[in-house]
Chain A
Amino acid sequence: MTTAVNQAMVEKYKGNFLKEVTDNVEEGNWVKMCMQCGVCSGSCPLGPHWDHPPQELFMMIRANKRDEVLSSTSMWMCTSCYNCVARCPRGLPITHIMHGLAHYGKRMGMKPKNQPTEKFGQMFWDNLIKKGRVNELKLGLGLYFKDGFAEGVKVSMSKQKLGLNMMKAKRMSPMEMLGGHGVSDLSGFHAMLKKAEELEAARVGTNTDAK
């Protein structure tokens, strides 16, 4: 599923994906500076599980493989350990570029299907913006039930003891289920988010709200 904004971007950059990444992806202006040494790929603890390690993603960007890059699950696999950033001889902020690419792919409507990191990220965001604070009970349960009801019940039962202990230790309140507590100035918080969205839209020159 692609979006109108995706079409607009394809039109605008006419196959020069490196330029598009440079202009629109967070820290994307660094991609052109990669010298293809492969130290990032070799340093990544999850490297073997990636379809395309960072070095390859950068090469694919230069080779104009737009769809393959933006719909890849690879950058969603990044756990932000920063091993690659620490080791990159060219000083590329690779971790940030990975997150930038993931976010841009999502904005373009090209996020991979059923990617757990992507799902959890969306869940966390939706949870957070309601009250300005993360409702841990709802977030936890949401995570348990992300793969369907039956699976959710199974996971919940296995974590039962953990939940009861947390309640006993007053680490979690069952009352949070009913709305839960939020920041003191909730309307102010929502106003801030709205302003941020406006600024972001102005920056990329078009409304690319991921939702």
Chain B
Amino acid sequence: MKIGGYLCTGCGIGDRLDTKSLESVAVREGRIGFCKTHDFLCSQAGVDMIKADMAAEGDDKVTKAVIMACSRRAKTESFNFGAVPTARVNLREGVIWIRPEGSEHDETTQEMAADYIRMGCAEVKAMQQADASGEQGKNNHIMVVGGGITGMTAALEASKAGYYASIIEKSDRLGGVMGQLKQRQPEHSPFQNPQDTGVAALIAAVEADDKITVYLNSTIAKTAGAPGRFEVDIASTVGAGTHAEFGAIVQATGFTPYDANNLPEFSYGKSPNVVTQLELEALARAAGDGPIKRADGKVVENVVFVQCAGQRSTKEGHLSYCSGHCCATSIKQAMYFKDSNPDIETTVLFDDIRTPGAGGENFYRSAQDKFVTFRKGKVSTVDVKGNELQVNFKDLILDEDAQMGADLVVLATGMLPNSGTDIDTMKDKDESGEVKVSVQSILNLNYRQGPDMPQLVNGFTDSHFICFPYETRRTGIYSAGPVRRPMDAAQAQTDAMGAVMKAIQAIENSAIGRAAHPRSGDLSFPSFRKEGCTQCKRCTVECPFGAIDEDEKGYPKYNEARCRRCGTCMGACPVQVISFKNYSIETVGAQLKAVDVPDEFQEKPRILVLACENDAYPALDMAAMKRNESSAFIRVIPVRCLGSTNTIWIKDALGSGYDGVVMMGCKKGADYQCHFVKGSEMAHVRMAKIGDTLSTMNLESDRVAVHEVAITDIDRAPKLLDEMVEVINRVGLSPFKF
């Protein structure tokens, strides 16, 4: 039972640093079993040396290791020793690459290296081997909510991958909105003509698949549990309910068409000849191969499509966003007319034509080639003139008001996501005492945080839209299709595949207690010391993933399979009782205490940097690769997420003589880049209150800085550290040095 230290002298470390003295720092001050040097530690010979020590018997067996070499982000394969707790001391990117050569710098550079070694030794002592919690379950069954093309595609993809799927469909048929269409926009080259929707084939495939169960006329009455062990009560409007168990959930609840009754200016409701795109599909289906007729039976000869009807608008009751599919849908519908009779006048009045996806542009060209007329114009009103309609618009190219007669006007209205209840507004209303939920919940989760998934903007179900579109804030539950963001059929089907892959990943991970993205493979999980807990509920409130429920007595109840191991609960805990085996208040606290803080007469400040391991730390590493010089007084500790930063660390650091603290997390807010969605935001909120602590200690508030740093801020990140050095130069050293 030993802690082994391994000092690499390759990559210039041996040339720049006094490694003999570092060895003795590790053994005498770091108090580890031994410290071996190797001139190429990540080579097979180097790694074999470490592995041999780990395989030794009795007292010689190395059970924890300190690798003193490059950044923890480099050589991860070579230095992967499974469950053996390992600390990485960053001497290359952290020290020699950011420090200039020359004898005048040697002393401070050597001190920096020695500090990092002390920190690594202290960290590994506080670390324990992480093991799975034992709460795991494996269930190969995926629940797919929604039987549209997204849901059916998800179920079929799950089946193809060898998993089981159950489709829960509210209505009495499969197919969703796509099932009501005559044709869809083309999926394959040359992208010229509308094609069969494929819904019938999908339904047939679903029905023929013995791995897929379909529940029609059904909704979800209750969802409990966690990935790998979801317990679901399925309610039925026609028969008795069912209870089923699932490993993961795909929410493909699709969209509701925007209510065109909100558009009286276009005479919707006043004339039966003003229809929405979905209503035109019904007319087109009724026409079959014959000419499309209006409600009064007249064959349509002149049709006008009004794009962005009630969308991309700031007007009250309109949608502010673009629904993504409507341009291509109008193009397709204009082709219904042109393909049956080229003499039918078809005009698309658009503001901006947007045809996303492969072939979208070709499809647009094909319509132009078929003499569909596209006029850039903004429609103000549609007037009813007897049996005819008059469309009034402003031609935006010719900059003039214009009119156009029409037999039929088609409004391209947008989509509203079927996201269920908005748990955030519910929460607000909870506090004021009036709970009123007009929308029905879809998942009916029994989570403490609310019955549905959180929503992002405009009511769309949350997804980590910038970096990881299929990630949500409810582990094991993945959204797909237009419930996540506006999209067309092809995108929805791709989305279904992505969501199913995430669902399968969740099933497999939860079976063996591994974390899902972004700490994939992590076996650690949070636990708390019950005697110390004050039942304050901060952890349950702040957990971005709704992983923590409360038991009857108000103690936190962890659901490890829902947990993403960000440590936000640990950072939130005011009494510091929450920890992970390999990451805790102690592992970081011990590191910052291990730093040798020189007395004030040496005029060597110490700046603690807590950097998010996902973005800020790699940005600093990359700055080092560019040999961007940094101060010798900084000591960087990577954290899982800035959200895991507990204020006790800041207090401890300032109390033990550090002169400044810099915290670096990801971008927060609605366009967040935080891998754990809310972690960075929580940290910012927490640190906004650090001023009180500073003032009770009689310290300047400038000594603590919190920054948003993206992984691309390679030049900016070191500058932020320089800024703190300047602050210390200005306000002077901390009076807390002993």
Contact status A32-B371, CB under 8 Å: yes
Query: How far apart sit A59 and B353, CA to CA, in the bound complex (Å)?
Result: 15
Nearest to A59 among chain B residues (CB) is B397
Contact status B371-A60, CB under 8 Å: no
Query: How far apart sit A18 and B371, CA to CA, in the bound complex (Å)?
Result: 9
Inside 8 A of A169's CB, which chain B residues have their CB?
none
Query: How far apart sit A33 and B398, CA to CA, in the bound complex (Å)?
Result: 18
Nearest to B347 among chain A residues (CB) is A62
Contact status B397-A33, CB under 8 Å: no
- Determine if A10 is an interface residue (Cβ-Cβ < 8 Å): no
Interface residues in B358-394 (C-beta closer than 8 Å to A): 364-365, 368-369, 371, 373-376
Interface of A is mostly: helix
Nearest to A90 among chain B residues (CB) is B365
Inside 8 A of B364's CB, which chain A residues have their CB?
35
For A42-72 the 0/1 string (1 means CB < 8 A from B) is: 0000000000000110011011000000000
Of B365, B369, B397, B402, which contacts A36 at CB under 8 A?
B397
- Determine if A19 is an interface residue (Cβ-Cβ < 8 Å): yes
Cβ of B189 to closest chain A Cβ, rounded Å: 19
Contact status B371-A63, CB under 8 Å: no
Cβ of A17 to closest chain B Cβ, rounded Å: 11
- Determine if B301 is an interface residue (Cβ-Cβ < 8 Å): no
Q: How large is the interface on B (under 10, 10 to 19, 20 to 34, 35 or more residues)?
A: 10 to 19
Contact status A35-B374, CB under 8 Å: yes
Q: How large is the interface on A (under 10, 10 to 19, 20 to 34, 35 or more residues)?
A: 10 to 19
Inside 8 A of A32's CB, which chain B residues have their CB?
368-369, 371, 373
* Given known contacts A36-B376, A36-B397, A63 and B368 CB-to-CB distance under 8 angstroms: no
- Determine if B395 is an interface residue (Cβ-Cβ < 8 Å): yes
Contact status A18-B373, CB under 8 Å: yes
* Given known contacts A56-B397, A56-B398, A62 and B375 CB-to-CB distance under 8 angstroms: yes
Cβ of B52 to closest chain A Cβ, rounded Å: 64
Query: How far apart sit A60 and B373, CA to CA, in the bound complex (Å)?
Result: 12
Query: How far apart sit A63 and B369, CA to CA, in the bound complex (Å)?
Result: 17
Contact status A59-B398, CB under 8 Å: yes
Contact status A35-B397, CB under 8 Å: no
Cβ of A16 to closest chain B Cβ, rounded Å: 8
Inside 8 A of A33's CB, which chain B residues have their CB?
365, 368-369
Contact status B376-A63, CB under 8 Å: no
Nearest to B350 among chain A residues (CB) is A36
Name the residue among B368, B369, B375, B402 with the largest chain A CB count within 10 angstroms: B368
Inside 8 A of A56's CB, which chain B residues have their CB?
397-398
Inside 8 A of A59's CB, which chain B residues have their CB?
375-376, 395, 397-398
Nearest to A36 among chain B residues (CB) is B376
Nearest to A65 among chain B residues (CB) is B398
User: What residues make up the interface of B, taking CB atoms closer than 8 Å to A?
Assistant: 353, 364-365, 368-369, 371, 373-376, 395, 397-398, 402
15 residue pairs of the A-B complex, CB under 8 angstroms, read A18-B373, A32-B368, A32-B369, A33-B368, A33-B369, A35-B353, A36-B376, A36-B397, A56-B398, A59-B395, A62-B375, A63-B375, A63-B395, A63-B398, A63-B402
Query: Nearest 5 CB-CB pairs, A to B?
Result: A59-B397, A33-B368, A36-B376, A32-B368, A62-B373
User: What residues make up the interface of A, taking CB atoms closer than 8 Å to B?
Assistant: 18-19, 32-33, 35-36, 55-56, 59-60, 62-63, 90
